[in-house]
């Protein structure tokens, strides 16, 4: 990397588009957007780099030569699973338990990932087809017990036969190895890998003790299978991306976003396909946390709403939670993943009346991007939430997406009137506003449930509003949730990419073992020592040392005979001494009652430590964002007109001021009712609320 390397480049590959963002100190953010190019996603990355470079007046090579760091997020693994395009995979498991993956802990695999409506209709439910052909699952004779003791040695001769059978008879290209209790004692899994490497050196192998060293054989096996299934794809993809970037002139490291919100160097990420699952939404949460730091908000509800989905993640005290039972498609996996909950609600959500009761409903069906809402004029015949937004004047038919698409308001009106308003016996505008209220109420209910799940009170939070559709609704549901304020970030349009550049290198290490409380501190320190040694070795190799690395210890604790485990951060000096351990247990008890409610602690049964986690961070340089100086509150310079929008107070259409976001300057105030158009979204400022542009050019609506 040369002296002039000054750019940080982030590329985020989504299902439809690949976004590239270029940051450099003291320069505006440059953006490149190109269509994603499945299954050869690397091409789309280069395309979007090219677009960004051209916007800067550079050749792609010139940009990459001056780039110090390339950060990357990709849906390549999600895509391999959704399209079932992974490797032909086999599974080796403990004899007698060959069906574990197929029976999914009973009905768990049948109802997981389904909406409540579908759960209530069991006759029409099914499991997802397993990623492993049931005929490609073989048991091997071996047994380890609950404390890691070998009860039965691995029979290597029959194991070798099983491996040959899977490869020669079943034609598998990848092998998952998942044995009972292997996370306590991986000896047999390692022997199997050695056997596979000898018998079939080209076959991709994943061991459960490496990819998911945690208790629970069903989830561990499922994770192992997913990793083996998509492993070759993620490895080949990242290799091809690295070599293409190299050919185009890039000489720096390629960092890849993980579902837990940290980056891994591409070489490491290549063998951890499960790590890349849902890394886009994770980047979104990381971006929200960074923005929160800049704005001194530690408690954030981060909402993202686009065409089909509403996603929400919660940051509390600057920390986020991990999903307890993550799913990809409908497959369970056990890997740390930032909790992001989604429902089928977006601009494309179809609005319909129940044929029997005439009760209106928003979603979960979506018109998607094609045919899309009626007002797009691309053949959509069902009214959608986007149509509703145009009918109540919130979206401007002439200025949608910077005027790139002209909306057909009269078609939207005709269809909505016929299918919704007339059957309800209401005017088009009144019915449309009613639908708007329903959508806002459903989102309110979702967020409320998520905060209850974590024992939180939304009134302590600020709400970040990302995505093309969210700011149309966020002031309304934010008010109903009683959050302190709603923030529509300046970076909303490039949010995931913003998250990528605000992430650190993070390596997660875990060790499962049950230790009672109290235990001597040495017992805990002995478990961490090998993890610390590995982490330091890795981070040093990656060039991190001194104050550019941090090691955080945390431990999962539970009350004996209770199922809830709480990951508790070690706040004392490490290695631990006796008082540090006492402090950890105190923290656990406080956290437990906060999350599960007063009176939920069961101290009489005793406390156990069950999982020991080391989070090793290499701290990355961040793009700096300089706050601007604040101007006068007078926003008249950005006012571009007046138009009728629905007013809840008047319960009728009424004139409102319309503003151009690009002409607002920090310090400006916008009094509701008003609508602010940005190049990618529309911000509705309801009656009696006031929005201001802050020094970072975010739009802030104070509610509390």
Partner 1 sequence: MDPITFSIIRHRLFRVVEEAVITLKHVSGSAITNEGHDLMVSLYRADGSLLMGGVGFLHHLTSAAEACKAVIRRFSGRIEEGDVYLLNDPYTAALHTSDIYLIAPIHHEGRLVAWSACFVHVYDIGAMNPGGFSPESPDIYTEGFSSPGIRLVERGVLRQDVFDTLLNMVRSPEMVALDLRSMIACNNVAKDRMLALIHKYGVATVDEACAELIGQSERLLRKRLGELPDGTWRSRQFMDVKGEVHRVELAMTKAGDSLVFDFTGSSPQSRHAINCTQWASLGGLFAPLFPLLCYDITWNEGVIKPITMIAPEGTVVNCRRPAPVSVATVGAIQSVNNAACATIGKMLSASELYADEATAVWHANHFAIFMFGRNQRGGQSIGILTETFAGAGGARSFADGIDVGGEIPNPISRMANVETMEAAFPIRYLFRRRMIDSGGPGRHRGGAGCELAITPHDAPDGGLHYVVSGKGAEFPMSDGLNGGYPGAPNSYIWVHQDEAGGDNRDARFAKALDELPGRKEPVTWGVFPLMGKDALYVRWNGGGGYGDPLEREPARVAADVHANLVSAEAAQAVYGVVLQADGRVDEGATAERRKTLRRGRLLTEAAE
Q: Output the smallest distance, CB 180 to partner 1, in A.
A: 7
Selected range binding partner 1 among 156-164, 301-309, 356-364, 397-405, rule: CB under 8 A: 356-364
Give the sheet arrangement for strand 30-35, strand by strand.
Answer: 30-35, 17-23, 7-13, 67-73, 254-257, 263-265, 505-517, 607-618, 549-559, 566-569
Q: Output the smallest distance, CB 438 to partner 1, in A.
A: 5
Q: Output the smallest distance, CB 359 to partner 1, in A.
A: 5
Q: Does 422 bind partner 1 (CB under 8 A)?
A: no
The secondary structure element, H or E, covering residue 627 is none
Q: Does 320 bind partner 1 (CB under 8 A)?
A: no
Q: Is 199 left (phi over 0), alpha (psi -120 to 50) or beta?
A: alpha
Q: Which of residues 568-597 bind partner 1 (CB under 8 A)?
A: 595-597
Selected range binding partner 1 among 115-123, 202-210, 483-491, 660-668, rule: CB under 8 A: 115-123
Q: Are 242 and 58 in contact (CB under 8 A)?
A: no
For partner 1, the closer of residues 319 and 359 by Cβ is 359
As a whole number of angstroms, the distance between CA 12 and CA 278 comes to 12
As a whole number of angstroms, the distance between CA 384 and CA 380 comes to 9
Q: Which of residues 251-290 bind partner 1 (CB under 8 A)?
A: none
Q: Does 187 bind partner 1 (CB under 8 A)?
A: no
Cα–Cα nearest to 424, from 352, 528, 491, 488: 352
As a whole number of angstroms, the distance between CA 704 and CA 700 comes to 12
Q: Output the smallest distance, CB 104 to partner 1, in A.
A: 8
Q: Does 364 bind partner 1 (CB under 8 A)?
A: no
Cα–Cα nearest to 137, from 85, 90, 95: 90
Query: Please, how many CA atoms are within 13 Å of residue 229, restricted to the half-sphere of its CB?
Result: 28
For partner 1, the closer of residues 293 and 564 by Cβ is 564
Q: Does 218 bind partner 1 (CB under 8 A)?
A: yes
Selected range binding partner 1 among 75-83, 103-111, 620-628, 638-646, rule: CB under 8 A: 103-111
- The radius of gyration of the chain's CA atoms, rounded to the nearest angstrom, is 27
Q: Output the smallest distance, CB 128 to partner 1, in A.
A: 12
Label residues 492-531 b or e (16+ Cβ within 10 Å = b): bbbbbbbbbbbbbbbbbbbbbbebebeeebeebbebbeeb
Task: Identify the bridge partners of residue 566 per DSSP, sorted by sequence position.
Answer: 557
Q: Does 110 bind partner 1 (CB under 8 A)?
A: yes
Q: Does 108 bind partner 1 (CB under 8 A)?
A: yes
Q: Which of 102, 397, 527, 591 contacts partner 1 by CB under 8 A?
A: 102
> In this structure, how many other beta carbons lie within 10 angstroms of the beta carbon of residue 57?
8
Q: Does 216 bind partner 1 (CB under 8 A)?
A: yes
Cα–Cα nearest to 402, from 33, 679, 676, 663: 679
Task: Identify the bridge partners of residue 519 per DSSP, sorted by sequence position.
Answer: none
First-to-last C-alpha distance (Å) of the chain: 48
* Residues in binding contact with partner 1, number by CB under 8 A: 77
141 Cβ contact partners less than 8 Å away, ≥ 6 residues apart? 95, 152, 154, 155, 158, 159
Q: Does 323 bind partner 1 (CB under 8 A)?
A: no
* Dihedral pair phi/psi, residue 325, rounded to 5°: -135, 70
Q: Does 445 bind partner 1 (CB under 8 A)?
A: yes
Q: Output the smallest distance, CB 313 to partner 1, in A.
A: 18
Q: Output the smallest distance, CB 16 to partner 1, in A.
A: 30
Q: Are 136 and 89 in contact (CB under 8 A)?
A: yes
Q: Output the smallest distance, CB 538 to partner 1, in A.
A: 29
Ranges assigned E (strand) in 371-504: 462-466, 485-488
Selected range binding partner 1 among 161-169, 170-178, 296-304, 359-367, rule: CB under 8 A: 359-367
Query: Which segments of 494-638 does DSSP mark as H helices, in order?
Result: 495-501, 521-541, 578-596
Q: Does 324 bind partner 1 (CB under 8 A)?
A: no
For partner 1, the closer of residues 48 and 474 by Cβ is 474
Q: Does 459 bind partner 1 (CB under 8 A)?
A: no
As a whole number of angstroms, the distance between CA 190 and CA 182 comes to 10
Q: Does 145 bind partner 1 (CB under 8 A)?
A: yes
Q: Does 330 bind partner 1 (CB under 8 A)?
A: no
Q: Which of 100, 178, 491, 689 contacts partner 1 by CB under 8 A?
A: 100
Selected range binding partner 1 among 287-295, 379-387, 581-589, 600-608, rule: CB under 8 A: 600-608
> In this structure, how many other beta carbons lie within 10 angstroms of the beta carbon of residue 623?
18
Q: Which of residues 518-577 bind partner 1 (CB under 8 A)?
A: 559-564
Q: Does 398 bind partner 1 (CB under 8 A)?
A: no
Q: Does 143 bind partner 1 (CB under 8 A)?
A: yes
> In this structure, how many other beta carbons lie within 10 angstroms of the beta carbon of residue 203?
19
Q: Which of 351, 435, 463, 693 contacts partner 1 by CB under 8 A?
A: 435
Selected range binding partner 1 among 23-31, 116-124, 254-262, 654-662, rule: CB under 8 A: 116-124
Give the sheet arrangement for strand 639-647, strand by strand.
Answer: 639-647, 652-660, 674-677, 682-685
For partner 1, the closer of residues 282 and 431 by Cβ is 431
Q: Does 604 bind partner 1 (CB under 8 A)?
A: yes
Q: Which of 9, 77, 180, 300 contacts partner 1 by CB under 8 A?
A: 180
For partner 1, the closer of residues 216 and 377 by Cβ is 216
Q: Does 452 bind partner 1 (CB under 8 A)?
A: yes
For partner 1, the closer of residues 35 and 119 by Cβ is 119
Selected range binding partner 1 among 23-31, 35-43, 355-363, 500-508, rule: CB under 8 A: 355-363
Selected range binding partner 1 among 50-58, 108-116, 382-390, 401-409, rule: CB under 8 A: 108-116
For partner 1, the closer of residues 104 and 309 by Cβ is 104
Q: Which of 3, 26, 28, 117 contacts partner 1 by CB under 8 A?
A: 117
Q: Output the smallest distance, CB 594 to partner 1, in A.
A: 11
For partner 1, the closer of residues 9 and 443 by Cβ is 443
Q: Which of 33, 54, 61, 98 contacts partner 1 by CB under 8 A?
A: 98
* Dihedral pair phi/psi, residue 435, rounded to 5°: -65, -40
For partner 1, the closer of residues 107 and 247 by Cβ is 107
As a whole number of angstroms, the distance between CA 534 and CA 187 comes to 19
Give the dihedral sign, CA 415/419/420/425. Answer: positive
Q: Which of 1, 35, 107, 669 contacts partner 1 by CB under 8 A?
A: 107
Q: Which of 95, 396, 408, 587 contacts partner 1 by CB under 8 A?
A: 95
* Dihedral pair phi/psi, residue 315, rounded to 5°: -115, 125
As a whole number of angstroms, the distance between CA 73 and CA 68 comes to 17
């Amino acid at each position: 990397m040369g002296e002039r390397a000054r750019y940080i480049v982030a590329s985020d590959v989504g299902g439809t588009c690949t976004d590239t963002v270029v940051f450099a100190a003291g320069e505006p953010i440059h953006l490149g957007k190109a269509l994603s190019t499945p299954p050869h996603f690397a091409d789309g990355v280069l395309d979007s780099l090219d677009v960004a470079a051209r916007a800067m007046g550079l050749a792609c090579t010139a940009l990459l030569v001056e780039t110090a760091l390339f950060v990357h997020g990709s849906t390549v693994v999600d895509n391999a699973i959704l399209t079932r395009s992974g490797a032909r995979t086999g599974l080796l498991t403990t004899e007698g338990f060959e069906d574990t993956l197929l029976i999914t802990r009973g009905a768990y695999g049948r109802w997981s990932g389904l909406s409540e409506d579908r759960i209530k209709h069991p006759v029409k439910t099914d499991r997802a087809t397993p990623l492993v052909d049931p005929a490609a699952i073989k048991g091997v004779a071996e047994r380890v017990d609950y404390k890691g003791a070998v009860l039965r040695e691995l029979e290597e001769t029959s194991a070798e036969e099983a491996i040959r059978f899977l490869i020669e008879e079943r034609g598998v290209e990848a092998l998952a190895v998942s044995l009972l209790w292997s996370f306590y004692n991986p000896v047999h899994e390692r022997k199997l890998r050695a056997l596979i490497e000898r018998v079939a050196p080209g076959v991709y192998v994943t061991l459960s003790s490496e990819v998911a060293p945690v208790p629970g054989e069903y989830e561990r096996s499922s994770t192992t299978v997913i990793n083996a299934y998509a492993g070759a794809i993620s490895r080949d993809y990242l290799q091809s991306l690295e070599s293409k970037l190299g050919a185009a002139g890039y000489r720096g490291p390629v960092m890849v976003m993980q579902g837990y919100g940290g980056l891994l160097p591409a070489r490491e990420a290549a063998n951890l396909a499960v790590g890349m699952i849902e890394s886009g939404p994770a980047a979104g949460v990381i971006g929200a946390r960074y923005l929160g730091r800049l704005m001194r908000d530690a408690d954030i509800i981060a909402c993202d709403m686009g065409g089909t989905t509403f996603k929400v993640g919660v940051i509390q005290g600057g920390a986020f939670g991990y999903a307890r039972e993550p799913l990809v498609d409908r497959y369970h996996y056990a890997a740390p993943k930032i909790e992001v909950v989604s429902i089928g609600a977006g601009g494309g959500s179809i609005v319909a009346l129940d044929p029997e009761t005439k009760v209106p409903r928003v979603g979960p069906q979506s018109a998607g991007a094609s045919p899309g809402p009626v007002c797009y004029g691309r053949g959509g015949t069902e009214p959608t939430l986007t149509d509703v937004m145009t009918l109540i004047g919130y979206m401007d038919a002439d200025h949608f997406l910077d005027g790139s698409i002209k909306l057909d308001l009269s078609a939207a009106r005709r269809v909505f009137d016929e299918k919704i308003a007339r059957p309800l016996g209401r005017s088009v505008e009144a019915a449309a506003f009613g639908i708007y209220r329903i959508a806002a109420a459903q989102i309110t209910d979702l967020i409320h449930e998520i905060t209850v799940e974590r024992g939180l009170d939304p009134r302590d939070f600020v709400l970040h509003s990302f995505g093309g559709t969210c700011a149309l609704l966020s002031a309304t549901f934010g008010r109903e949730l009683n959050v302190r304020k709603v923030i529509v970030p300046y970076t909303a349009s490039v949010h995931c990419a913003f998250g990528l550049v605000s992430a650190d290198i993070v390596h997660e290490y875990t060790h499962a073992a049950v230790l009672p409380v109290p235990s001597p501190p040495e017992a805990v320190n002995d478990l961490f020592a090998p993890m610390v040694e590995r982490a330091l070795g890795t981070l040093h190799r990656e060039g991190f040392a001194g104050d550019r690395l941090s090691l955080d210890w945390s431990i999962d604790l539970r009350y004996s005979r209770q199922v809830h485990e709480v990951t508790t951060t070690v706040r004392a000096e490490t290695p631990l001494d006796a008082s540090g351990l006492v402090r950890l247990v105190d923290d656990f008890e406080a956290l437990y009652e906060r999350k599960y409610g007063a009176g939920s602690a069961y101290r009489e049964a005793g406390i156990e430590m069950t999982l020991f986690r080391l989070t090793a961070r290499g701290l990355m340089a961040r793009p700096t964002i300089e706050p601007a100086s604040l101007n006068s509150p007078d926003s008249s310079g950005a006012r571009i007109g007046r138009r009728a929008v629905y007013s809840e107070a008047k319960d009728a259409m009424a004139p409102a001021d319309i503003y151009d976001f690009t002409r607002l300057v920090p310090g400006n105030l916008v009094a509701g009712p008003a609508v602010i158009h940005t190049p990618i979204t529309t911000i509705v400022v309801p009656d009696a609320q006031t929005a201001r542009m802050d020094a970072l050019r975010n739009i802030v609506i104070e509610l509390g």
